[in-house]
Amino acid sequence: MRTAIIGAGIAGIASAIRLAAKGHQVTVFEANDYPGGKLSVFTQDGYRFDAGPSLFTMPQYVDELFELCGEKASDHFRYQRTDTVCHYFWNDATRLNAWANPADFAREAEKVLGVPAEKVTGFLSRSATKYDLAGRIFLEKSLHKVKTWIGWSVAKAMVKLPFYDMLSTMHKTHEKHFPHSSKLVQLFNRFATYNGSDPYKASGMLTIIPHFEHNIGVFYPEGGMHSITQSLYELSLRQGVKYHFSTPVEQILTSGKKVTGVRTHDGTTHAFDRVVSNMDVFYTYKKLLPQEPHPEHILNQPKSTSALIFYWGIRHDFKELGLHNILFADDYKNEFEQLNQGTVTNDPTIYINITSKFTPTDVPLNGGENWFVMVNAPCHQGQDWAALIPEIRRNTIQKISAILGKDIEPLIACESILEPREIERRTSSHLGALYGYSSNNLMAAFLRHPNFSSKIKGLFFVGGSVHPGGGIPLCLLSAKVMSEME
């Protein structure tokens, strides 16, 4: 079967591997001159930065692609489990090291926050059970196929419906478990941002997310996050996948409700039996399928949040920081209220990723650190970013300096900035929303576009804007779900 894939994001590359392994003749068309989409890399003044996703969980989904092709993953892609999940900081000088071992993390939470260790381990155990019962159904299967809902595992999951806290919010669920520790509630609330959602609105079902980090683990790929892209890209080449970079697709061609091929920006028509779009589903319809009806009820759902990212080369070593660091806002609820209003609070929660903690060659020979500094931001809705960005930058520098007890501005050796408009331009993510659509609605999982078209035979969808959602693990799973459809 001749198959075209539109977009060489991580879901597009994974789709190419899976379909090539099944015997498809796969061709990938990518508008950029590099593979990986958001999962890319750049160097500035001797500092190397992973430009996009910085957290690596569920590595088995990467390993699986090598195994599918009869290769040993460790021969081409290596990673290690980190001893610490994240370093947490609050404005009142509270600091907590979230150890990777759940028991150690629980003891640390008891020591620092006064929460009984058994409460923490019990919560993490509950998170794991939720995932085992229902998470695999919602994430690893199509929610839009009848066969998904037939079988003993589904019946077993349905019996436990009250256990999932679906009718509660994440915040209320966390408050119920940790009524005397607003800081621990805030720590677990932040997992809503993993799919660009609001913990004060998102369903308590999303409390399965901590399981990925605290029970399975956080991992660091040798050479940084971009090695995920590079290793899978090279694997796809070994499987015979062909790539056309700097080649935007202008239209998906159809005839009689069946895919017939694609037309590229130079007017060339290419015949295919199957087309898989790794492009944002909004633009897939609006730009590439003008001749077909659009599912407006799906395309008009509320968007996820975006991000404002500062890439800073820092002329200093901060021993108190690790690979992953979170500096929390005092008023977390207000932060999300501001995001919902299209702006950013003066006291934002700040995430700092520093790969030089694991890869010293990511910085110049004279030392320092490569900081990936991210602040949650609304998607682009016509805001005056020229005014907002300098203000957010000032507040970010002031907050980091106060918490670390050192003025960091003179230490910034180089800087690049990525904001919602540029995210949209580089990756065709509608309005710069990082995860497509938010998961604030109880039925959000069912309202995401399926991985196939029910109207056009031979048309399929992968990536963060469709089922099961955004982030590396879910994008990889979208490719798996799609590849199992015929």
The model carries a pTM of: 0.94
- For residue 468, cis peptide bond before it (omega within 30 degrees of 0): yes
Where residue 376 falls among pLDDT bands split at 50, 70, 90? very high
SS3 369: strand
Report d(CA 66, CA 393) in Å as an integer: 41
pLDDT at 146: 57
Average pLDDT over residues 347-357: 98
Alpha carbons 24 and 26: distance in angstroms, whole number: 6
Other CB atoms within a 10 A radius of the CB of residue 239 amount to 19
**Confidence check: pLDDT of 342 > 70:** yes
Express as a percent the part of the chain with pLDDT over 70.
Answer: 94
Q: What is the CA radius of gyration of the chain?
A: 22
Of all residues in the chain, the percent with pLDDT exceeding 90 is 85
In Å, how far from its chain's centre is CA 333?
22
**What pLDDT, in 10s, does the model give residues 273-307?**
999 999 999 999 999 999 999 999 889 999 999 99
CA distance 349 to 264: 42
**Cα 198–200–203 angle (5° rounding)?**
80
Measured CA to CA, the distance from residue 378 to residue 383 in angstroms comes to: 9
CA distance 242 to 458: 20
Mean pLDDT of the 244-269 span: 97
Which structural domains are found in the chain, ordered by start?
Answer: 2-33+245-300+442-483 (3.50.50.60), 101-216 (no CATH)
When comparing pLDDT for 204 and 178, which is higher?
A: 178
Which of 272, 250, 268, 248 shows the shortest CA–CA distance to 259?
272
The model's pLDDT over 427-449, given as tens digits with 9 standing for 90+, comes to: 999 999 998 888 887 666 667 89
- Classify burial at 298, counting beta carbons within 10 Å of its beta carbon; exposed 0-12, middle 13-18, buried 19 or more: middle
Residue with tokens 């009718």: 167
pLDDT of residue 138: 73
Report pLDDT digits (tens) over 79-124.
Answer: 999 999 999 999 999 999 999 999 999 999 999 999 999 999 999 9
